[in-house]
């Protein structure tokens, strides 16, 4: 089918980097090469950046995290645990380096970027456990990291949005860190893959329903199958029967994204459960079109994200 893409984005489609997760090793190699070129000259001035090893849960390997803090920050500031996307297959600390540096500098917050284990080598619950370990570590080390524990949020993009939403559910259920906010950017949420947008968008750029199916297969591994009744909510947050008591949320979706409707539906369910939630669907866009960051629609998306995080994390509030 044809798509009414934003007129500024449409001419750029021929420059869209291909995404193929059928061969994870090859995809990672290509992604790492592109990432290295993008961050080679990244300006990190004004930031204190340090890598740490977080103890894994239940004897799992340590979880690498990278902590960003403005050099001029005095006293505790808001914190954001940030989880990268990549279909559960791609992504690293380096791939998020620019995003996290920008968020830390622009908002004056501490950002903890999480390098969770990737699928298919590590299936659920390993990646989710890694992210939850990083969240609980960030809360426990808030004093050392300069984070105000009352202003700690979690966020992620795409598969990272799935992992972030699951961490929020888990923190609520297990009496974990009291999160003030959750940012779910173009999130993966529902393994059942039966929404209208998922069924319709079979040939969209960057990400389509076929890649989504393969991604879930990798993430759920041999012990679970997408669509089966026994898939837990910590794997697919849309499965959660009760969303009450979760932190306020901001959810973004892209018009021509197979993930669009599961994000919108999750937001509506949060609202029905009494959870404050702002939903923003960007017209004429697709999953991954933010790579064209200079376009007006994605400049607006970035401005919206910064404004929402500023409010949700209480950036302008006293500690």
Residues annotated as catalytic are 158, 257, 287
CA–CA dist 163, 142 (Å, integer): 21
**Residue 32 φ then ψ, to 5°:** -65, -40
Return the SS3 of 101: helix
CA neighbours within 13 Å on the CB side: how many for 268? 8
Cβ–Cβ < 8 Å for 287, 204: yes
Residue 311 burial (CB count, 10 A): 15
Please classify residue 46 by burial: count the beta carbons closer than 10 Å to its beta carbon, then call 0-12 exposed, 13-18 middle and 19+ buried.
exposed
Q: Is 297 left (phi over 0), alpha (psi -120 to 50) or beta?
A: alpha
């Amino acid at each position: 089918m044809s798509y009414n893409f934003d007129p500024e984005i449409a001419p750029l489609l021929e420059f869209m980097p291909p995404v193929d997760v059928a061969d994870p090793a090859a995809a990672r190699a290509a992604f790492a090469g592109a990432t290295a070129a993008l961050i080679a000259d990244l300006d990190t001035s004004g930031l204190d950046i340090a890598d740490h090893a977080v103890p894994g849960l239940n004897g799992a390997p340590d979880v690498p995290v990278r902590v960003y803090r403005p050099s001029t920050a005095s006293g505790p500031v808001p914190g954001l645990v940030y989880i990268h996307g990549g279909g559960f297959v791609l992504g690293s600390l380096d791939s998020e380096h620019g995003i996290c540096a920008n968020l830390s500098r622009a908002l004056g917050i501490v950002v903890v970027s999480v390098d969770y284990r990737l699928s298919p080598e590590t299936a659920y619950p390993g990646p989710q456990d890694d992210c939850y370990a990083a969240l609980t570590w960030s809360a426990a080390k808030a004093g050392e990291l300069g984070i105000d524990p009352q202003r700690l949020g979690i966020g992620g993009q795409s598969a990272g949005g799935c992992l972030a939403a699951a961490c929020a559910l888990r923190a609520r259920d297990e009496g974990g860190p009291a999160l003030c906010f959750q940012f779910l950017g173009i999130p993966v949420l529902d393994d059942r893959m039966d929404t209208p947008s998922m069924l319709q968008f079979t040939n969209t750029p960057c990400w389509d329903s076929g890649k989504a199916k393969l991604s879930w297969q990798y993430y759920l591994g041999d012990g679970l199958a997408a669509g089966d009744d026994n898939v837990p909510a910590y794997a697919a947050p849309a499965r959660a029967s009760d969303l009450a008591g979760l932190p306020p949320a901001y959810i973004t979706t892209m018009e021509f994204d197979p993930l669009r409707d599961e994000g919108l539906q999750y937001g509506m369910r949060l609202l029905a459960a009494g959870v404050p939630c702002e939903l923003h669907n960007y017209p004429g866009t697709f999953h991954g079109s933010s790579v064209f960051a200079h376009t007006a629609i994605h400049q607006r998306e970035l401005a919206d994200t910064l404004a929402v995080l500023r409010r949700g994390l209480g950036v302008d509030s006293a500690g």
